[in-house]
Amino acid sequence: MQKKRKERPANPKLVLLNKPYGVLSQFSGEADDDTLKNYIPHKDVYPAGRLDKDSEGLLLLTNDGVYQARLANPKYKVWKTYWVQVEGEPTEEQLEQLRNGVELKDGMTRPAEAFVMPEPNNLWPRNPPIRERKSVPDTWLCIKIREGKNRQVRRMTAHVGLPTLRLIRAAVGPFQLKGLQPGQWREEPPVW
């Protein structure tokens, strides 16, 4: 029996959304849930990967199932870039742990890129704002991973003693936020 090939759409779409904090990465939910239907007018696109409700930033949506799998499936090793505000000031040892991979309950993470960065330019305020403690400094990190375990970046930083305060996905592969404000979206041609 021959495996049936998926039909590819005649007009593939790729939508880039800056998902606001508190929005579910799906089109349906409970009556009081804020979902993608409040931001995306297209009815034929679906998320290629997810962002937690309490994470912000780039979410890709497409009408092409093959392309969706290519973007989201860890076997394709697409780099995802996150700006992560953490509690504390990381040591080189903590950064090296993130770079080498850390042991989580569901297994070892792949090696990552991790380095200290300045606060991102033109950063929008988060609503609600993150908690600030005058006695504990915070630091921005850039973390790049090639997989997508559930809440992975948050669990990685917590594992090395740097709890995440704010998490923004800035890029997936070649696609970047590039000035999109929370709730804004744009279409780009699919590449690969």
Whether the per-residue pLDDT at 4 is higher than 60: the answer is no
pLDDT at 189: 83
- CB-count burial class (<10 Å; 0-12, 13-18, 19+) for 168: buried
Q: Which residue has the higher pLDDT, 46 or 129?
A: 46
pLDDT at 173: 92
Compute the average pLDDT of residues 23-42: 91
d(CA 186, CA 21): 18
Delimit the CATH 3.30.70.580 region(s) of the chain: 14-74+174-188
Compute the average pLDDT of residues 134-142: 89
pLDDT tier for residue 170 given thresholds of 50, 70 and 90: very high
pLDDT tier for residue 111 given thresholds of 50, 70 and 90: very high
pLDDT at 130: 83
Helix axis angle for 92-100 and 152-159, nearest 10°, is 140
Q: Which residues are catalytic?
A: 52
Compute the average pLDDT of residues 18-28: 94
Of 16, 36, 10, whose CA–CA distance to 177 is shortest?
A: 16
Of 67, 62, 94, whose CA–CA distance to 78 is shortest?
A: 67
Most confident of 1-5, 113-117, 132-136: 113-117
Delimit the CATH 3.30.70.1560 region(s) of the chain: 79-172
- CB-count burial class (<10 Å; 0-12, 13-18, 19+) for 107: exposed
Percent of the chain clearing pLDDT 90 (strictly above): 65
Q: Cα 67 to chain center, whole Å? A: 17
Just give the CATH number of 14-74+174-188: 3.30.70.580
pLDDT at 191: 75
pTM: 0.91
d(CA 74, CA 147): 5
Of 129, 149, 146, 147, whose CA–CA distance to 138 is shortest?
A: 129
Just give the CATH number of 79-172: 3.30.70.1560
Hey, what amino acid is at 85?
A: Q
pLDDT tier for residue 3 given thresholds of 50, 70 and 90: low
